[in-house]
């Protein structure tokens, strides 16, 4: 895994997610940050991205809409999308998974949770 896009309207949340990813072994990754889903989608299209981490609730374009755009694009359909939410809504999590999310995690995120969620990706993307 080399390029990671983090889309979250909170700069603090983006910093925490990035730090957690670095701790679990992705310190060498190239990170791109977006304040909303629209910026996130633009970054994903500009850079050959290996992982998209998106907040669910953001202005301009939310994480659900971003997920729909990614999964409807033939070029991006295989991109793993991790949705992070403070909602903690099981029905919404199930819906996001059915839409193609790689995983849905509740805030606050920590290295142990990310390590467990991303283990399959980390195992297959060791360069």
Structural domain boundaries in the chain = 3-88+100-110
Place 89 in a pLDDT band, splitting at 50, 70 and 90: confident
Peptide bond into 108 cis (omega under 30): yes
CA distance 73 to 9: 24
The CATH architecture one would assign to domain 3-88+100-110 is 3-Layer(aba) Sandwich (3.40)
The per-residue pLDDT for range 24-54, each reduced to its tens digit, is 999 999 999 999 999 999 999 999 999 999 9
- CB of 79 closer than 8 Å to CB of 41: no
3-state class (DSSP) for residue 33: strand
127, pLDDT greater than 60: no
Please report the pLDDT score of residue 68 as a whole number.
97
């Amino acid at each position: 895994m080399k390029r990671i896009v983090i889309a979250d309207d909170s700069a603090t949340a983006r910093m925490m997610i990035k730090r957690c990813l670095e701790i679990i072994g992705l310190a060498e990754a190239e990170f791109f940050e977006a304040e909303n889903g629209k910026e996130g989608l633009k970054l994903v299209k500009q850079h050959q991205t290996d992982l998209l981490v998106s907040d669910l609730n953001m202005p301009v374009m939310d994480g659900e809409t971003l997920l729909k755009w990614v999964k409807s694009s033939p070029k991006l359909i295989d991109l793993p999308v991790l949705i992070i939410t403070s909602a903690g809504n099981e029905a919404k999590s199930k819906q996001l998974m059915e839409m193609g999310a790689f995983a849905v995690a509740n805030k606050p995120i920590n290295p142990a949770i990310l390590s467990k969620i991303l283990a399959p990706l980390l195992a297959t993307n060791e360069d």
